[in-house]
Structures are given as C-alpha cells and as structure tokens.
C-alpha cells in the first residue's frame, strides 16, 4: 500500500451497525456481505478500494427506543452492549488476523500499517458503560479501550452532550460533574485519549482546564460555517490549536451545510470546512473523522471505497499532494506517535 494514499480515520460506527444487526462475528464486514439488508459504509472490500488503513472504531450504547434517542442510557445495558461490541472486534481479529488488528499503542499501529492490516483503536462514544465511581474503567482498559468521549449527545453521570437541534450553540448546559472530572484525570493517568466531539461547551472548557493532554475532536466541523451545536466555535478551535490537538473532519452532511440539511448532494462544503480548519489550526492539526456507518454522508463519496474521490476533490481545489497526505493519514499518525 502506497503510504501517500492511505487514510487513517477519526471515527466510524461499524461495530454498532454489526451489533444492531446481530452480526456478532463481524461476518458482514469480513465477507463484504449485506448486514440486515444494508451495505453500510465499511466492509473489508471497500476499505481496500479506499486505502482505508484504520482509525477509531466507536462503541456506542443506544438509548431505549429509537437508535438516535437522546434519552439517558441504562448503565447495566450499556455495559452489556460495550462488551458485545468489543467481542465483535476481537472475533474479527481472530478470524482474519491478516487483515484486521486491534491496536493498543502507536507501535502496534505502525506494525499494522507495515503489514497492511486495518488498525482498530477501540473507542467509547459516550461513557455510559463506565460506573460513576470508575470501578470498571480498568476492566475496559484491559479489554483494549484506548479512547473515550465522555458523552454522546445526551446527559450522563459524567457530563452533558450537545443536542442535534439546528441552528444552535454548543454552549448549552453545565460542565462536567465531579465524576466527569475524575474520569478525565484517570484517563490521563491510564493513557486513554479523551474525545471532545459531542461534549457541550462548558464541558469542553472543563477538559481544557483539567486534562494534561492535547485536545482532540475526532469527528467535528466548523460552527462558523454550519451552526449546529455539534460543531466547534472559533474559541474552541483556538484552544485545540494552543494545546497541540487535532480535529477530524466529519462527513455528516448535516454538520457541513450552512442550512443544516441532511442533503447528500453535498460536496464543496467539505473543502470549505477543510480550508477553514487549515487556516485556523494549521496544516498539521487537521485530519479526517468520517463518521462512516453513523451518518448521512455525501453521495459522491457514498462509502469507504469513495475516499479517493475526496482526495481528487482536494486536488481539484489546489491542495498539494503533501497536504493531502497530512490530512488523510499523516496528521493522525504523527499525533498518535506522540500521544498514544
């Protein structure tokens, strides 16, 4: 695999899609077969076609009712769901070790890349499965969790997530709870990355004060260009830059468009957000965070196999090869070499 062509991605929801479909062996991914009547965005065939080399694989416990319900999630059910999704990832690794590898540190990422495997960083999107006293955090660390977003877009014992309403500010609700602040400190101690995507602004600033590590938003865009609460304000972007952090561009059309519509006929907006992030953060702190299998994405990309169409769009808009390489893989990989 040509290093300049690979993509390392900040966020996908493959494990959730497989779990919801009852595909506990990950066969839909490994064999590139339809899962519950859906092709999804990620399977082994499309990753090879799109030069997808790995990234953060989210583990998310849905609230009761509809899949995107923002009601509180039950901790006991969240623990079961989390264990199930970790098990799916481990079975995928066991049944196809030449193609898929769960990685625990940057050395293992490099080994995975050199062997042309998909490097999987296990990530909790919302910490509902973690007890308020953090008594099972080490258990999940031992199972391979190396990245945590304290909240999804709902409230839990650790903090408050932003709603999906449009338009809106991320400055909604109070900051982290005492348990949330303890979670940040303990993740720092264990070497678990903290993801700021979905966290409200007060919580963001609490992490900025408490955490000793660089600030990360794995799959978020620019609030100035698309005023959804899920996107980052200029002040938040400035803080991420000051703390030597990184932002992954989210492909979700509702987080790209000025009108907030989930219209798949969306293309140039990706470039507008990339250019804004580059101008604000610099070319070493901008990456990708696709939200594959978790969002409505532009038609021209369609799925993981369409990633070369995104790099082609960048070239059409004057992005040099070296900058494209940084955005697509090198910035994440450089960040992880230093911090993971």
DSSP 207-231: HHHH--S--EETT--BTTTS--TTS
* Dihedral angle computed from the Cα positions of residues 7, 288, 146 and 241, in that order, rounded to the nearest 10 degrees: 130
- Structural tokens at position 332: 């994440």
First to last CA, the chain: 23
The reported pLDDT for the residue numbered 28 is 86
Domain boundaries, the chain: 3-339
Q: For residue 221, which phi and psi values (nearest 5 degrees)?
A: -120, -160
What's the Rg (C-alpha) of the chain? 18
Separation of alpha carbons 212 and 173, rounded Å: 24
Mapped onto helix, strand or coil, the DSSP state of residue 192 is: coil
Separation of alpha carbons 138 and 215, rounded Å: 22
Q: What is the mean pLDDT of each run of 10 residues along the chain (340 residues)?
A: 76 96 90 65 95 98 69 86 98 96 98 97 98 98 99 96 95 98 99 99 99 98 99 99 99 98 97 99 99 96 97 98 98 98
Strands 216-217 and 246-249: parallel
Q: Kindly report the CA angle at 305 between 304 and 306, in degrees rounded to 5?
A: 90
The reported pLDDT for the residue numbered 72 is 73
Mapped onto helix, strand or coil, the DSSP state of residue 340 is: coil
pTM for the whole thing? 0.95
Q: Does domain 3-339 have CATH number 3.30.160.20?
A: no
């Amino acid at each position: 695999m040509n290093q300049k062509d690979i993509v390392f991605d900040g966020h996908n929801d493959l494990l959730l899609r497989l779990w919801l479909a009852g595909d506990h062996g990950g066969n839909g991914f490994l064999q590139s077969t339809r899962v519950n009547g859906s092709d999804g965005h990620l399977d082994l065939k499309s990753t090879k076609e799109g030069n997808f080399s790995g990234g953060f694989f989210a583990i998310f416990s849905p609230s009761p009712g509809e899949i995107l319900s923002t009601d509180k999630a039950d901790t006991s059910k969240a623990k079961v769901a989390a264990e199930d999704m970790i098990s799916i990832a481990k079975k995928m690794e066991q049944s196809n070790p030449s193609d898929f590898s769960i990685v625990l540190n940057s050395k293992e990422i490099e080994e995975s890349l050199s062997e042309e495997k998909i490097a999987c960083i296990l990530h909790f999107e919302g910490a509902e499965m973690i007890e308020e006293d953090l008594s099972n955090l080490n258990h999940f660390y031992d199972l391979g969790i190396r990245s945590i977003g304290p909240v999804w877009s709902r409230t839990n014992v650790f903090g408050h997530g932003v709603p999906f309403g449009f338009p809106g500010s991320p400055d909604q609700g109070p900051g982290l709870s005492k348990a949330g602040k303890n979670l940040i400190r303990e993740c720092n101690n264990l070497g678990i990355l903290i993801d700021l995507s979905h966290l409200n602004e007060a919580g963001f600033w609490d992490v900025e004060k408490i955490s000793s590590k660089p600030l990360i938003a794995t799959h978020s865009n620019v609030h100035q260009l698309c005023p959804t609460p899920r996107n980052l304000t200029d002040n938040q972007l400035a803080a991420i830059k000051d703390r030597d952090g990184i932002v992954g561009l989210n492909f979700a059309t509702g987080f790209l468009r000025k009108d907030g519509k989930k219209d798949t006929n969306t293309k140039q907006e990706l470039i507008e957000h990339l250019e804004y992030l580059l101008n604000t953060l610099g070319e070493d702190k901008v990456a990708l965070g696709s939200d594959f299998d978790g969002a409505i994405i532009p038609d021209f990309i369609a799925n993981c196999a369409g990633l070369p169409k995104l790099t082609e769009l960048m070239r059409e808009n004057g992005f040099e090869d070296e900058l494209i390489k940084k955005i697509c893989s090198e910035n994440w990989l450089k960040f992880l070499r230093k911090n993971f």
